[in-house]
């Protein structure tokens, strides 16, 4: 192996991380313009709604962990969605001290209106990949997500 090739390989993980950060940033534009904005939502409000649609209900602090968002960003998104009548807060029937969030009928209607638009973004993004590449990236994303979800709070 050449010295130049070895140096490039030494930085492969860092370059991959930077590539993932860039991809995550770039996906925000079509998601905002095509999915969130038509429903008068911010990206953070969209993230909260999509998470609640998938989970059914969740406490705000659970959303912080699941979405990897700052607690203040979740709080602002929750407040805006509550004011718009898209989510409701209720006591958790399994733990009366805990409050959970859930989509209202209006929230579910907005979610339903957003799904075809999100599908269009996904189709455009992944159309550059073969079926095998799509399966591979899905598996890799699941593996990396699990690794990050298992990340110790104080370790680097």
**For 53-92, how does the pLDDT look when each residue is reduced to its tens digit (9 = 90+)?**
998 889 999 999 889 899 999 999 999 999 999 999 988 7
Average pLDDT (40-52) is 96
> Band of the pLDDT at 23, cuts 50, 70, 90?
very high
> Band of the pLDDT at 11, cuts 50, 70, 90?
confident
> Band of the pLDDT at 3, cuts 50, 70, 90?
low
Residue 21 corresponds to which tokens in the numbers above? 């950060």
Residue 55's contacts (CB-CB under 8 Å, 6 or more residues apart) are 62, 66
| Beta bridge pairs of residue 58 | 101
| Count of other CB atoms within 10 angstroms of residue 15 | 11
Domains of the chain in start order, with CATH, are 40-149 (1.10.10.10)
E strand intervals along 8-134: 87-92, 95-103
- Residues 44, 75: Cα–Cα separation, whole Å: 10
* Residue 155: pLDDT over 80: no
75 by Cβ neighbours in 10 Å (0-12 / 13-18 / 19+) ranks as middle
* Residue 109: pLDDT over 70: yes
Average pLDDT (15-36) is 93
Span between the terminal Cα atoms of the chain, in Å = 30
Full-model pTM: 0.81
């Amino acid at each position: 192996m050449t010295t130049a090739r070895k140096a490039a390989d030494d930085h492969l993980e860092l370059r991959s991380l930077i590539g993932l950060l860039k991809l995550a940033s770039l996906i925000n534009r079509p998601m905002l313009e095509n999915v969130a904005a038509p429903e008068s939502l911010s990206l953070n409000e969209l993230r909260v709604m999509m998470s609640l649609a998938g989970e059914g209900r969740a406490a705000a602090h659970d959303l912080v962990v699941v979405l990897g968002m700052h607690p203040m960003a979740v709080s602002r998104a929750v407040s805006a969605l509550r004011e718009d009548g898209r989510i409701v807060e209720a006591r958790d029937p399994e733990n009366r001290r805990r409050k959970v969030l859930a989509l209202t009928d209006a929230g579910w209607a907005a979610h339903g209106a957003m799904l075809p638009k999100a599908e269009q973004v996904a189709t455009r993004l992944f159309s550059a990949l073969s079926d095998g590449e799509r399966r591979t990236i899905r598996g890799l994303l699941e593996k990396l997500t699990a690794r990050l979800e298992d990340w110790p709070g104080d370790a680097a």
